[in-house]
Each structure stands twice: as C-alpha cells, then as structure tokens.
Amino acid sequence: MSTNDQASGLGRYLVVYVCILAIAGLQFVVAYHSASYSEMFVRMFLLAMLEAALGVLFFMHLWSEKRALLIFVSIFVLFVLATLQYSWPDAFRIVGGVPYSSYH
Amino acid sequence: MSQANIALGAHQSGAMEPSPFSIPSKKLAMWLFIISDAMTFAACLVAYGFLRNSTPNWPTPFHSITNVAIMTFILVTSSLTMLIGMRAARAGDKGKAFRWILMTAALGILFGLLHLREWSQLIEEGMTIFKNPWGTGLFGSAFYSITGLHLFHVTCGVIALIVVGFRYQGGRYNADDIEVLGLYWHFVDLVWMFVVPFIYLLNLSH
C-alpha cells in the first residue's frame, strides 16, 4: 500500500465497496430477466469482470503499485484465461455436432 | 580474488539486488500464489461451463437467492473490514487493527456457516456429488467441488487471519504481513464474484 493510499482515507474504499455491492445487486436483478442463456451469461460475465477489476485495482492496491506489476499480473492471468477458452468448441460439438457444420 | 571473496561477492550482489516491482518479497510471493490460484479457479469454472454447455438436462435447482445474496454481502463487507484493519496496522494502531482483523475472521466464519447450512439443505433435498432429483448428476459434483474449493479457501483464510492477528498483536508480525494476508482475503472475495453468477444465478429456476 503506497503512501498515497494511506493519505486518501477510507472514502475511496467505501466508494469501491458500494460500487461492488451495487454491481453484485445488478447481477441478481439480471438473473431474473427473461433472456437467453448466452445473453445472460455475457451480462453476468461482464459484471463479474467489472467487480473483479474494482477489487483487484483498489482493494488489492494494484492500481497504486508499479505499472510493471499491473502489467505482469494482467498478462499472466489474461493469457491463461484466453488459452482456457480452447475447450468451448468441443462443448458445443457434444450437444450440437461440429461447430458450423450442417449436422443438427 | 580468492574463492571465498568471489562467493561473498556473489552473495552480497544477490542481497543488494533491488526487489522486483519494488515490493517486498513476501508480497510478490503472494501475488504469484494468487495468479496460480486464479488459474485453478478459472480452470474449474471453465470445466463447469463445459459440462453445463454439453449436458442437455442440466438442472436449475435454486429457487431463492436470499441466502447467496446475504453470503455475498458478508464476504464483500469482510473485504472492507480487512482494509480498515490493514490501514490501522499501517498507522501503528495495534489494538484497532487486531479488532478489525478478528471482525474479518468472524465474518468469514459466518459466511462458512451459511455455506454449510445451504449445503445441508441441498443434501436434504437429495443432491449429492453423484445424483440429484432434478437432472444430471454432474451438477452436484460441479457444484460441490467449486463451492467446496472456495469454502476451503475461506476456511484457510479464517485460520490465517486468527493466527496472523494474534501474532501481530504479540509483536511477531508487522503491518506488511497484514497487507499480504489482506491480498489473499480480497482474492477469496474476488473468486466469489465469479462463483455466484455462474454457479447460482445461471441455475435459478424461473
């Protein structure tokens, strides 16, 4: 935690706390919307990413650390998250055939 | 230059090397742990998504979101109490820091108890790791493994909070240790932000 963080007081943390709670509340509201599963998934995922970004940047103080650490953490995590998406086409193949094929 | 001097020189240059990213080594170690743990949870959630996507009769057993909403509120609030404790530790106010750390641990315990209550209700309804009355048995294994892994992290965090809190109070640990522990606790909170929408909210019965 940098000296800047100590000087900024609890106010910023309270604002971030309220924002995270509000976004979490929004997720609960979205859950009761009538939308397709994929639409709902995208909305939930974006809101969760926003919550996580607030948590990492401000609660975990990544924003006030050296930019090199921010870049290091982001690249590592985002790269692995991206490579994990490799399995999705297979998940679709099991229920709906090979993606983009004419088989249904 | 003698062999001993070469060895000493190498050791000294190692000791004088600036800390990577200008943060203490234990903080860097915690960040590396968090990165690897984030990958573990991400792999679990992607595996869960794979199963959910490829299984036609996936159950949607959750009727109410009250319990999970309360659990979310408790965990996010515990992050705030952890921050207050950490700030007090940085300011050198040991008593206040100790109280807020124990408050964080108490919220973690409350979260765990609510989680166990929810599990026992689901078990009473017939949901086990292998089967459930609503659809594929894969749901139970996915649900219990992911929420169980998270609950394990919360439990470890609560134990760490109590141990580090008392050792900080006793003068064996300092504010840096509280901050490192805080990183872990915020991470546990952060994982829950993904578990709730994917495991609970996308499985609501409308």
Which chain B residues have a beta carbon less than 8 Å from that of A22?
none
> What is the CA B117 to chain-centroid distance, rounded?
19
Q: Which chain B residue is nearest to residue A1, measuring alpha carbons?
A: B179
Query: Which residue, among B26, B21, B91, B34, has the nearest Cα to A65 in the 3D structure?
Result: B21
Query: Which residue, among B139, A71, B108, has the nearest Cα to B100 in the 3D structure?
Result: B108
Q: Which chain A residue is nearest to residue B63, measuring alpha carbons?
A: A32
Contact (CB, 8 A) for B19 and A63: no
Is the Cβ of B84 closer than 8 Å to some Cβ of chain A?
yes
Q: pLDDT value at position A96?
A: 62
Q: pLDDT value at position B14?
A: 55
**ipTM of this complex prediction, to 2 decimal places:** 0.86
Domains and CATH numbers, chain B: 23-203 (1.20.120.80)
Which chain B residues have a beta carbon less than 8 Å from that of A73?
31, 35
What mean pLDDT do residues B84-113 have? 96
| pLDDT at B9 exceeding the cut of 50 | no
| pLDDT at A51 exceeding the cut of 90 | yes
Confidence tier at A8 by pLDDT (50, 70, 90): low
pLDDT above 70 coverage of chain B, percent: 92
| pLDDT at B120 exceeding the cut of 50 | yes
Out of B72, B202, B204, closest to residue A41 by CB: B202
What mean pLDDT do residues B134-154 have? 94
Q: pLDDT value at position A99?
A: 54
Which residue matches tokens 């495991």? Answer: B199
Q: pLDDT value at position A36?
A: 85
Whole-prediction pTM value? 0.87
Is the Cβ of B70 closer than 8 Å to some Cβ of chain A?
no
Total CB pairs under 8 A between chain A and B: 121
Q: What is the DSSP string of A35-77?
A: --HHHHHHHHHHHHHHHHHHIIIIIS-GGGS-HHHHHHHHHHH
